[in-house]
């Protein structure tokens, strides 16, 4: 939002320098966006306050903040003349879902000419080109109060009637700038004698435009469905000052102020007379009332405010105090403050006008709540550390890839601006591999890389996928390249990395299985991922189920005991299975070895097994087992 300071000072007179004014606006919520040039502030508007898209709206807050008087612009506050019945321009709205209010007035015997210098200069300071006094006044009032206005030459009307309806497919309009725009039923238009003359809330047409010969005009201020305006303007790729305001929450009541202000200026600068005309406004929206509790202010701000100061700030911002009790106020929210939804919004107004620089700091005092960190996040950090210690570099790559109908289960985006980034990856390999290529390009012989991230899958594959169709899987991907190694050596190295990772995660019983198109990595018969000669990936959420992070620190060596057991087996039979059985008997057993073997008789032999163990071992049961 641009703010010419000379203009601002008409409503809030200040002696402050442009830099100081900019600082005040920044604290108030309108950040100075660009360097100050020729006494015009360019402030960042954050889409919330529709009234901040007007100079008076900015001035009102500024005046409250600086404790100076806010001067309202002069309006035409007398009743307009009653027109003859046949002079009335009839308004018909066929799409009431898109139009909330259409307020009009008719002017006769006006003189279209160049605007006076002060008006031209203000528009130019804002960045708009002056055209003629009528068009300039509509623009001026739009900037001043935030309501877009539109004037049309009545002599160019076939019938004194405006019908507002959705456009028909195939209809087109030529704008004031001479551009022809094709329309469709998503867009609504003002029509005259069946032909579109204005795209509602977006841009006016050339056909009924005001020129130097115009003497009679119909002035309108409309309040429209802002979602439709936003969508239509995007579709038509039209962005202008009208659209910028009509796609915000403007209050229908604002049309009255805008018409009255414009009437004052038209009569001043173009002469003529003004006549009442139709104000199409089927649903008069009532003013919003709201309870304001001092307790709530204290709770949110942590500060003690003087009640008088609170009332003063609210009044300066044009809240109306309807009831005033010991602990609360009943407020009527100013109609132009469409952003005020809840009590806390009025609370923010108090804190804001009091100055954010005046908020004290107070550290959190309560005891920290329980740790709710999911284990998987800690686990992935452990994997990162292990892989880094195994010599691999971590990379993070863009999960967005090119959409490819040949890739099964790919999640595709509807509206990406970039065709190279119009789907989500189904493997990390595809986005990490280009980094390996980069290493090669830089003649780095060895590249051991990993990425911890997600892969995405559309398991159903509808044209419009539902949320439940889409899966995200957490994966760690490793790729190894070494220009000096043969594929066999690379493969050995990659397997070494895998077993290094598994050993550190305490995962045993791992196998690699040929599953037709992939070599799957299994632990305890569960698939954890897949391996190729130069890469592997693992699903971390599967991995965590099998991991038992070894406690690598021991504070004492365990004392070991040995005991010998004898057992009889048939000659010719291996004693391997017996040893395995003993090993699995108890976790306390560290080692089992055969120390002696002799023939008992022709069919049997006796073997002496030495069992080494720590802690306690149920030797009686072991003996029974043998």
- 470-489 residues near another protein, rule: CB under 8 A: 470, 472
- DSSP bridge partners of 458: 470
Residue 147 CA to residue 245 CA, distance in Å, equals 7
Binding of residue 354 to another protein (CB under 8 A) = no
Out of 79, 170, 194, 369, the residue judged to bind another protein by CB under 8 A: 369
Do the beta carbons of residue 445 and residue 482 sit within 8 Å?
Answer: yes
Stretch that binds another protein, among 124-132, 369-377, 508-516, 539-547 (CB under 8 A): 369-377
Report if residue 180 touches another protein, rule: CB under 8 A.
no
Element holding 165 (H helix, E strand): strand 161-166
Specify whether the CB–CB gap between 109 and 261 falls below 8 A. Answer: no
Angstrom distance (rounded) from CA 241 to CA 245: 7
Least spacing, CB of residue 186 vs another protein, in Å = 14
Q: Is 226 in the site for another protein (CB under 8 A)?
A: yes
Rule CB under 8 A: which of 495-514 touch another protein?
none
Contact call for residues 533 and 490 (beta carbons, < 8 A): yes
Stretch that binds another protein, among 1-9, 23-31, 93-101, 214-222 (CB under 8 A): 23-31
Q: Which residues from 35-74 bind another protein, rule CB under 8 A?
A: 35, 46-49
- Coil, helix or strand for 301? helix
Task: List binders of another protein among 423-442 (CB under 8 A).
Answer: 424, 431, 434-435, 438-439, 442
Please, what is the minimum distance in Å from the beta carbon of residue 23 to another protein?
A: 9
Establish if 81 lies at the interface with another protein (CB under 8 A).
no
Q: Output the smallest distance, CB 423 to another protein, in A.
A: 10
Segment interacting with another protein, rule: CB under 8 A, options 109-117, 281-289, 389-397, 597-605: 389-397
Interhelix angle 375-389/487-505, rounded to 10 degrees, is 140
Using a 10 angstrom Cβ sphere, with 0-12 exposed, 13-18 middle and 19 or more buried, the burial of residue 247 is: buried
Q: What is the dihedral of CA 414, 420, 423, 428, to 10 degrees?
A: -170
Q: How buried is residue 419: exposed, middle or buried, by Cβ count under 10 Å (0-12/13-18/19+)?
A: exposed
Q: What residues pair up with 204 in beta bridges, in sequence order?
A: 198
467 belongs to the binding site for another protein (CB under 8 A) = yes
- Please choose, out of 33-41, 145-153, 181-189, 508-516, the segment that lies near another protein by the rule CB under 8 A: 33-41
Told to check if 533 binds another protein by CB under 8 A, we report: no
**Looking at 249, 305, 519, 533, which residue binds another protein (CB under 8 A)?**
249
CB of 48 to another protein, least distance (A): 4
Q: How far is the CB of 455 from another protein (least distance, A)?
A: 11
Residues 6+ apart with CB under 8 A from 443: none
Separation CA 472–CA 456 (nearest Å): 5
Q: What angle do CA 11, 12, 15 make, to 5 degrees?
A: 135
Q: Which residue lies nearer to another protein by CB, 375 or 406?
A: 375
Task: Pick out residues in 149-178 that bind another protein (CB under 8 A).
Answer: none
What angle (nearest 5°) sits at the alpha carbon of residue 295, between those of residues 291 and 298? 120
Q: Which of 72, 389, 511, 518 binds another protein (CB under 8 A)?
A: 389
Residues that contact another protein, how many (by CB under 8 A) = 96
Contact predicate 387/478, CB 8 Å:
yes
CA distance 614 to 571: 32
Cα(586)–Cα(81) distance, integer angstroms: 105
Which of 483, 482, 333, 464 has the alpha carbon at shortest distance from 411?
A: 464
Question: Judged by CB under 8 A, which stretch of 85-93, 418-426, 513-521, 582-590 contacts another protein?
Answer: 418-426
Three-state secondary structure call for residue 95 = coil
Q: In angstroms, give the least distance from the CB of 437 to another protein.
A: 11
Quote the least distance from Cβ 24 to another protein, whole Å: 10
Q: Which stretch binds another protein (CB under 8 A): 9-17, 132-140, 414-422, 559-567?
A: 414-422
Please give the residues from 260 up to 279 whose contact with another protein meets the rule CB under 8 A. none
Choose the binding region for another protein from 71-79, 180-188, 458-466, 610-618 (rule: CB under 8 A).
458-466
Nearest distance from C-beta of residue 175 to another protein, angstroms: 23
| Given 39, 87, 279, 344, the residue binding another protein (CB under 8 A) | 344
Q: How are strands ordered across the β-sheet holding 90-93?
A: 90-93, 161-166, 188-192, 195-199, 203-204
Can you tell me which of 94, 211, 273, 341 binds another protein, judged by CB under 8 A?
341
Q: How far is the CB of 482 from another protein (least distance, A)?
A: 11
CB of 50 to another protein, least distance (A): 8
Applying CB under 8 A, does 419 fall inside the site for another protein? no
What is the rounded CA–CA span in Å between residue 590 and residue 613? 5
């Amino acid at each position: 939002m641009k703010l010419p300071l000379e203009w601002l000072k008409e409503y809030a007179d200040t002696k402050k320098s442009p830099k100081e004014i900019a600082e005040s606006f920044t604290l108030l919520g309108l950040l100075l966006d660009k360097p100050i040039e020729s006494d015009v502030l360019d402030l960042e508007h954050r889409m919330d306050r529709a009234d901040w898209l007007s100079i008076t709206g900015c001035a009102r807050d500024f005046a409250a903040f600086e404790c100076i008087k806010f001067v309202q612009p002069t309006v035409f506050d007398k009743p307009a003349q009653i027109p003859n019945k046949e002079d009335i321009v009839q308004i018909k709205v066929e799409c009431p879902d898109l139009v909330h209010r259409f307020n009009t007035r008719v002017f006769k015997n006006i003189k279209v000419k160049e605007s006076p210098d002060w008006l031209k200069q203000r528009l130019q300071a804002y960045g708009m080109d002056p055209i003629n006094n009528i068009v300039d006044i509509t623009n001026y009032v739009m900037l001043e109060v935030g309501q877009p206005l539109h004037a049309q030459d009545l002599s160019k009307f076939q019938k004194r009637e405006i019908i507002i309806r959705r456009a028909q497919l195939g209809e087109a309009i030529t704008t004031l700038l001479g551009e022809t725009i094709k329309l469709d039923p998503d867009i609504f238009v003002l029509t005259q004698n069946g032909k579109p003359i204005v795209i509602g809330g977006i841009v006016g047409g050339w056909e009924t435009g005001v020129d130097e010969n115009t003497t009679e005009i119909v002035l309108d201020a409309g309040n429209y469905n802002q979602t439709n305006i936003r969508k239509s303007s995007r579709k038509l790729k039209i962005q202008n000052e009208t659209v910028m305001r009509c796609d915000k929450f403007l209050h229908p009541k604002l049309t009255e102020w805008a018409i009255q202000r414009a009437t004052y200026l038209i009569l001043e600068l173009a002469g003529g007379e003004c006549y009442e005309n139709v104000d199409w406004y089927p649903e008069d929206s009532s003013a919003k009332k709201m309870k304001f509790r001092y307790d709530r202010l204290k709770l949110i701000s942590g500060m003690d405010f003087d009640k008088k100061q609170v009332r003063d700030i609210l009044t300066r911002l044009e809240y109306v105090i309807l009831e005033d009790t010991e602990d609360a106020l009943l407020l009527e929210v100013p109609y132009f403050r469409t952003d005020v939804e809840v009590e806390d919004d009025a609370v923010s107004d108090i804190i804001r006008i009091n100055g954010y620089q005046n908020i004290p700091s107070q550290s959190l005092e309560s005891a920290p709540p329980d740790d709710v960190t999911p284990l998987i996040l800690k686990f992935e950090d452990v994997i990162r550390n292990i892989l880094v210690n195994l010599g691999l570099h971590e990379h993070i790559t863009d999960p967005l890839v090119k959409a490819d109908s040949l890739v099964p289960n790919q999640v595709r985006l509807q509206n990406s601006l970039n065709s190279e980034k119009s789907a989500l990856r189904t493997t990390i390999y595809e986005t990490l591999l280009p980094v390996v290529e980069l290493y090669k390009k830089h003649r780095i012989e060895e590249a051991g890389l990993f990425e911890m991230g997600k892969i995405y899958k559309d398991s159903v594959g509808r044209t419009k996928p539902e949320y439940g169709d889409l899966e995200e899987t957490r994966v760690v991907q490793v790729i190894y390249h070494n220009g000096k190694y043969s594929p066999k050596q690379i493969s050995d190295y990659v397997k070494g990395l895998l077993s290094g990772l598994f050993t550190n995660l305490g995962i045993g019983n791992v196998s690699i299985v040929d599953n037709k198109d992939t070599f799957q990595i299994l632990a305890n018969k569960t698939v954890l991922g897949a391996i190729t000669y130069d890469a592997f990936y693992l699903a971390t959420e599967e991995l965590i189920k099998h991991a038992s992070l070894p406690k690598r620190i021991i504070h004492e060596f365990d004392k070991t005991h040995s005991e010998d057991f004898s057992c009889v087996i048939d000659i010719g039979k291996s004693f391997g299975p017996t040893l395995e059985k003993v090993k699995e008997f108890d976790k306390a057993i560290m080692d089992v070895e055969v120390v002696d073997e002799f023939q008992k008789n022709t069919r049997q032999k006796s073997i002496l097994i030495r069992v080494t163990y720590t802690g306690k071992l149920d030797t009686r049961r072991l003996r029974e087992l043998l």
